[in-house]
Amino acid sequence: MTDALSSTFAALADPTRRAILARLSSGEATVGELAEPFAMSLPAISKHLSVLERAGLVTKSRDGQRRHCRISVAPLKDATSWLELYRQHWEEQFDNLGTYLATIHEPSGEGEPKEFPA
């Protein structure tokens, strides 16, 4: 069994699925409308939509013969929250690096930059 976060990132790993989500971010669309910009068959698009649906990123509804798809943002919020922890960590690391680099480039007594420590 795969956890929800792993399913989200696995679904987002494919550029076609990311493009489908980008399209759905502007509003609901039918499977046919989602397939239009891609040089692939409807069954191939349906497989991509199934991956997105299993990850909880897309929901489908039926209106007669037409299947409408809409984006579901809850899994994206969860992924964003998880990534935010690491963004904060790396920003702190870059701030520390900036401070360190500023200290090693301070002029020494002879007007030359300090050497890097060995």
- CA-wise closest residue to 77 among 31, 13, 8: 8
What are 54-71's pLDDT values in tens digits? 999 999 998 888 889 999
Is 8 among the domain residues?
Answer: yes
Domain total in the chain = 1
* Sequence-ordered list of residues with C-beta below 8 angstroms from that of 67, at least 6 positions apart, any chain: 30, 31, 60, 61
Is 90 among the domain residues?
Answer: no
Is 30 among the domain residues?
Answer: yes
Is 86 among the domain residues?
Answer: no
Which residue range(s) make up the domain with 23? 4-72
Is 62 among the domain residues?
Answer: yes
Is 55 among the domain residues?
Answer: yes
Low-confidence ranges of the chain (pLDDT < 50): none
pLDDT at 115: 60
**pTM: predicted TM-score of the whole model, two decimal places:** 0.73
- CA-wise closest residue to 60 among 52, 48, 68: 68
Give the residue ranges of DSSP H helices in 1-118: 4-12, 15-24, 31-35, 42-54, 74-104
Is 118 among the domain residues?
Answer: no
CATH number at residue 33: 1.10.10.10
In 10 A of CB 78, how many CB atoms?
14
